[in-house]
Amino acid sequence: MKKEDLRRVLEFYRAIGVESVPCEPKALPGKKAKTRRAAAGKGRPEKQKALSALFNGKIAGCTGCKLSAGRRNIVFGEGDPAARLMFIGEAPGREEDLQGRPFVGDAGKLLTSLIEKMGFKREDVFIANIVKCRPEGNRDPEEDEVGACLPFLKRQIEIIAPEAIMALGRVASQTLLGTTVQISKLRGNFHSYEGIPLMPTFHPAYLLRNRKDKALTWQDARQVLKLLGMESG
C-alpha cells in the first residue's frame, strides 16, 4: 500500500472515532490470510455502536442484583469489538473494581502475558467476565447474580461474534457450558457455545498459585491458535 493510500485509510478510521486499528498477528500468507483479516474487521464501527448501546441502555446504573450496592465501577469489558478471540473470566476483583477494567491485577498481568505470547495485544482481543460487578471478598458469584448479569454477556458475545472463546476458570466454563464438570476435565478440548468453539482453561488467579499448570494452559492456547489458523502442526 502506498503512503498516500495508508494516510487516507488512517484518516477514515480517525473520523469514525477509532483510535487504533487491530491487526491480525502472525497471519498466514496468501489469499486466505487476507480474507481472514478482512473478515475480522468487518462491521467494527457497527459493533462498537451496538456495544455502546448495550452499556448505556442496559448496564450503566444497573441494580439488577445485590452486587450493585458494593461496587465502585461496573466492569463492562474491553477490547476489539470485532475480535476473533474472546476471553471470559469469572468476576472483577479489587483492582478491576477500582479501575473499571477487566483483568488489571496480578492475574490480569498473567493473562496479558498469555495474550502476548499468543501473538496478540490486549486491544486485539475482547476481555469480559460472567458478572460485571465485584463480589465482596472476591467470592464466587451466586446463582442469582449470574442470572442477572449473564444476558448482558450473551449479548456481548452475540455482537462481537468471535471465532473462538477461551473460558478462564471453573465458574466461566461451567456457566457458559451449562455443566458441573470440573475444569480439570473440561480443559484441553473444544466445546461449543452457541456454535462458537469454546476452550475452557485455568483461571490466571489459579495459575499464580499453581504455576506448574501454566504449561497446560499454553497447550490450550495453542489449540486455539491452530483453530484460528495462526499456528500449524
Q: How far apart are CA 191 and CA 117, in angstroms?
A: 23
Helices (H), 118-211: 143-160, 170-177, 183-186, 204-209
Residue 14: pLDDT band with limits 50, 70, 90? very low
228 three-class SS: coil
**Are 155 and 54 contacting, i.e. CB atoms less than 8 angstroms apart?**
yes
Q: How far apart are CA 110 and CA 188, in angstroms?
A: 19
> 182, 203, 185, 174: which is closest to 87 by C-alpha?
203
How does DSSP assign 73-85, residue by residue? S----EE-TT-SE
Share of the chain above pLDDT 90, in %: 81
Q: How far apart are CA 59 and CA 12, in angstroms?
A: 30
Domain chopping of the chain, boundaries: 65-227
Higher pLDDT, 125 or 26: 125
Buried b (16+ CB within 10 A) or exposed e, 173-204: bbbbbeeeeebeebbeeebebeebbbbbbbbb
Residues 6+ positions from 91 with CB-CB distance below 8 Å:
129, 130, 131, 133, 134, 135, 138, 140, 141, 171
According to the model, what pLDDT value does residue 231 have? 79
Q: How far apart are CA 215 and CA 207, in angstroms?
A: 10
213 pLDDT higher than 80: yes
- C-alpha torsion 129→135→140→141, nearest 10: -70
Share of the chain above pLDDT 70, in %: 81
> 211, 210, 214, 230: which is closest to 222 by C-alpha?
230
Q: How far apart are CA 53 and CA 31, in angstroms?
A: 35
User: pTM for the whole thing?
Assistant: 0.82
Mode of pairing for the β-strands spanning 126-129 and 85-89: parallel
* 65-227 homologous superfamily: Uracil-DNA glycosylase-like domain (3.40.470.10)
Instruction: Tell me the longest C-alpha to C-alpha distance in the chain.
Output: 56
Return the minimum-mean-pLDDT range out of 31-35, 158-162, 198-202: 31-35
